[in-house]
C-alpha cells in the first residue's frame, strides 16, 4: 500500500505500517539491505563500480588508475561485508603485476583514503595515445595518472580525440584481448642470442617483439624477412612464432 501523504497543518500521526516502510527504505539506502515479507534480502549492488583504498603513496585524480593489490575486507574480517560489498586495496600499477588488474577512478582519492572506481565497463580515463590508430589500452608502468595505448590490451578504446599525447578517452575495461597472430616483416636484423629483439611491421603499423625466451629458436634473421608473431596477453608483448627461411641467413 502506498505511503500516506501529509499536508501542512495535518497531524503527523504515523501509522505503524508507514513507520516500518520508512525504516525499510532507510535500510536500503544506507545499509544496502531490503526486506520482503519480513525476510531480509541482499540489496542489488553495482558489480562494475567498487570501492578501493589508495595505497599508492600519493593522491590520485579522477580518471586516474590504481592497480588491484588485494581485497580490503577479507571473509575472516567480516563475512557479510566480503560477500555483499567487496572492496579492494589499490597501488601504483606496474606491468609486472597489474596487466588487466586495475580500476579507473570515478572521483579523486587522497593517499590513504577510500573512493569509488570502475572495475568493469564503460568509463572515461586518461590515456597516453602513442599512435592515432591504436585501439586498446593497458596500464602504464609505475603510473597512476593514465593508461597507455596499444593495438591490444585489456581496455578497449571506444572514443579518443584526434592526435597523440595524453587524452581523455571513453574506454571499456575488462576486455580480454586473447591471443592474436599476425604476419610480419622484419625491419631490422635479429640474432639468435638470449631474448633477442627486433622491430617489425604489420598492417601498416610498426611494433616491437621479443624472440622466444630464453632463445630465439629460429636462428639469425635479416631485415625484410617475414614471419609470424602472436600477442601474449599475459606478458603484454608480441613474441615470435617463426621466421621464414631463417636457416639461409648467416
The region, left, alpha or beta by phi > 0 then psi within -120 to 50, assigned to residue 240 is beta
d(CA 38, CA 150): 53
Can you give the pLDDT at residue 51? Answer: 95
CA distances to 26, 170, 184, 222 from 114, rounded to whole Å, are: 23, 24, 46, 53
Q: Check whether residue 159 and residue 78 sit in a common domain.
A: yes
> Exposed (0-12), middle (13-18) or buried (19+): which is 22, by Cβ within 10 Å?
exposed
What are the φ/ψ torsions at residue 167 (nearest 5 degrees)?
-135, 150
Q: Per-residue pLDDT for 37 more than 90?
A: no
How confident is residue 6, by pLDDT bands cut at 50, 70 and 90? low
Q: Check whether residue 208 and residue 187 sit in a common domain.
A: yes
Can you give the pLDDT at residue 25? Answer: 66
Q: Identify the three-state secondary structure at position 136.
A: strand
Residue 20 maps to a domain: no
Can you give the pLDDT at residue 213? Answer: 45
Residues 113-131 have pLDDT tens digits of 999 999 999 999 999 999 9
Q: Check whether residue 133 and residue 215 sit in a common domain.
A: no
Residue 1 maps to a domain: no
More confident residue, 163 or 37: 163
Q: Between the CA atoms of 44, 49, 53 and 58, what dihedral angle is there, to the nearest 10 degrees?
A: -160
How confident is residue 26, by pLDDT bands cut at 50, 70 and 90? low
Q: Check whether residue 54 and residue 169 sit in a common domain.
A: yes
Q: Per-residue pLDDT for 100 more than 70?
A: yes
Tell me which DSSP letter residue 29 carries: I
User: Bridge partners of 140?
Assistant: none
Can you give the pLDDT at residue 87? Answer: 94
Residue 194 maps to a domain: yes
d(CA 170, CA 53): 24
How confident is residue 111, by pLDDT bands cut at 50, 70 and 90? very high
Q: Check whether residue 80 and residue 145 sit in a common domain.
A: yes
Residue ending a domain, among 154, 173, 192, is 173
* Beta-sheet pairing, 147-150 with 121-129: parallel
* Range of the structural domain that residue 151 is part of: 49-173
Q: Check whether residue 128 and residue 222 sit in a common domain.
A: no
Residue 40 maps to a domain: no
Can you read off the three cell numbers belonging to residue 47? 558489480
Residue 125 maps to a domain: yes
Residues 198-248 have pLDDT tens digits of 666 654 444 555 444 434 555 566 666 777 776 666 666 677 766 664 433
Alpha helices of the chain — where are they, by DSSP H?
16-26, 79-84
Please tell me the total count of domains within the chain: 2
Can you give the pLDDT at residue 139? Answer: 94
More confident residue, 168 or 210: 168
Residue ending a domain, among 138, 157, 173, is 173
Q: Between the CA atoms of 97, 98, 99 and 102, what dihedral angle is there, to the nearest 10 degrees?
A: 170
For the entire predicted model, the pTM comes to 0.63
Residue 137 maps to a domain: yes
Tell me which DSSP letter residue 86 carries: -
- Mean pLDDT across the chain, nearest whole number? 77
Can you give the pLDDT at residue 54? Answer: 97
Residue 12 maps to a domain: no
Residue 44 maps to a domain: no
Q: Check whether residue 218 and residue 244 sit in a common domain.
A: yes
Q: Per-residue pLDDT for 189 more than 60?
A: yes
Radius of gyration of the chain (CA): 26
d(CA 57, CA 92): 8
Q: Check whether residue 143 and residue 225 sit in a common domain.
A: no
Residues 50-77 have pLDDT tens digits of 999 999 999 999 999 999 999 999 999 9
Can you give the pLDDT at residue 249? Answer: 32
Can you give the pLDDT at residue 36? Answer: 46
Which residue reads 513507520 in cell numbers? 19
Residue ending a domain, among 121, 139, 173, is 173
Amino acid at each position: 500500500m502506498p505511503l500516506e501523504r501529509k499536508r501542512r497543518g495535518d497531524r503527523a500521526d504515523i501509522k505503524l505500517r508507514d513507520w516500518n516502510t520508512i525504516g525499510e527504505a532507510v535500510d536500503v539506502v544506507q545499509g544496502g539491505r531490503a526486506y520482503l515479507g519480513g525476510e531480509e534480502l541482499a540489496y542489488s549492488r553495482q558489480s562494475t563500480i567498487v570501492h578501493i583504498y589508495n595505497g599508492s603513496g600519493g593522491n590520485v585524480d579522477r580518471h586516474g588508475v590504481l592497480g588491484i593489490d588485494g581485497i580490503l575486507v577479507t571473509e575472516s574480517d567480516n563475512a557479510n561485508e566480503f560477500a555483499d560489498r567487496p572492496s579492494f586495496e589499490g597501488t601504483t600499477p606496474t606491468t609486472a603485476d597489474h596487466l588487466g588488474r586495475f580500476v579507473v577512478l570515478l572521483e579523486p582519492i587522497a593517499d590513504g583514503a577510500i573512493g569509488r572506481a570502475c572495475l568493469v565497463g564503460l568509463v572515461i580515463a586518461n590515456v597516453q595515445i602513442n599512435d592515432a590508430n591504436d585501439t586498446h589500452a593497458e596500464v602504464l608502468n609505475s603510473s597512476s595518472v593514465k593508461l597507455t595505448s596499444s593495438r591490444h590490451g585489456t581496455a578497449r578504446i571506444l572514443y579518443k580525440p584526434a592526435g597523440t599525447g595524453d587524452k581523455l578517452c571513453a574506454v571499456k575495461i575488462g576486455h580480454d584481448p586473447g591471443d592474436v597472430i599476425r604476419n610480419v616483416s622484419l625491419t631490422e636484423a635479429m640474432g639468435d642470442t638470449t631474448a633477442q629483439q627486433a622491430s617489425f611491421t604489420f598492417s601498416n603499423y610498426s611494433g616491437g617483439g621479443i624472440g622466444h625466451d630464453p632463445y630465439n629458436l629460429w636462428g639469425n634473421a635479416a631485415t625484410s624477412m617475414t614471419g609470424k608473431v602472436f600477442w601474449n596477453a599475459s606478458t603484454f608483448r608480441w613474441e615470435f612464432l617463426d621466421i621464414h627461411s631463417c636457416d639461409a641467413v648467416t
